[in-house]
């Protein structure tokens, strides 16, 4: 895959994010890794406004911007530190989904409630509120990227990671749907969540086959 191909794929998922109202205005940022570089959304752009050549190329080892002169997202360190810490991460999606943000205000862990959530996402981590764009956010996120593929940022939003952009994006959708389901169910009575045994049955026996099947179907 040449760098232009990954740039076009970033545009594809940026459009999906905006169309599905996972961000509003110029909020959120996404990136993908390719040949020692990360390609990150530029600062000040709504995600669906970014042209393929405008994704900012950043050297993962040094953190230097190596191409078009546009400023990378102000949360560049959050992406950079995650790629440096975990070689398996190939894509990062940071969004501001409304149900996820609403859920973070409850200051609770998001429980696992249904099979898609167990298979595609697993446990969702969370970090306390810290100032967006600050290095404190990158440092707070850093230990979590080796623990979970989805991380709720209290009073802020959601970060998901994946082995490709498709996987990271789908995880965003599933976590947002999970937060919505929890909020709806909680308005009626205490939600019934999957037991640890039920979760492990899905996570250990079905998740990889399920993920691979889903990803292949979407090619």
What positions carry a catalytic annotation? Answer: 75
How many CA atoms, within 13 angstroms, populate the side-chain half-sphere of residue 117? 19
Tokens 């889903």: give the residue. Answer: 214
Strand order in the sheet with 157-162: 56-59, 37-40, 29-34, 91-95, 157-162, 150-153, 124-127
Q: Can you read off the two tokens belonging to residue 103?
A: 């859920």
- Cβ pair 42, 34 in contact under 8 A: no
Instruction: Give the H/E segment covering residue 173.
Output: helix 165-186
């Amino acid at each position: 895959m040449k760098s232009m191909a990954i740039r076009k794929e970033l545009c594809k998922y940026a459009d999906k994010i905006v169309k599905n109202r996972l961000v509003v205005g110029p909020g959120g940022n996404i990136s993908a890794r390719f040949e020692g570089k990360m390609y990150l959304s530029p600062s000040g752009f709504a995600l669906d406004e970014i042209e393929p050549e405008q994704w900012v190329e950043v050297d993962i080892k040094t953190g230097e911007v190596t191409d078009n002169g546009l400023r990378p997202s102000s949360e560049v360190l959050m992406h950079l530190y995650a790629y440096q810490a975990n070689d398996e991460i190939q894509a990062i999606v940071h969004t501001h989904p409304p149900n996820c943000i609403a859920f973070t205000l409850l200051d609770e862990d998001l429980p696992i409630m249904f099979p898609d959530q167990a298979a595609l996402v697993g446990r969702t981590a969370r970090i306390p509120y810290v100032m967006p764009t600050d290095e404190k956010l990158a440092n707070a996120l850093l230990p979590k990227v080796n623990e979970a593929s989805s991380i709720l940022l209290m009073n802020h939003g959601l970060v998901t990671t994946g082995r490709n952009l498709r996987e990271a994006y789908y995880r965003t959708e599933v976590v947002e749907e999970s937060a919505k389901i929890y909020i709806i169910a909680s308005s009626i009575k205490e939600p019934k969540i999957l037991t640890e045994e039920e979760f492990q049955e899905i996570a250990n026996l079905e998740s990889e086959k399920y993920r691979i099947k889903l990803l292949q179907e979407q090619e």
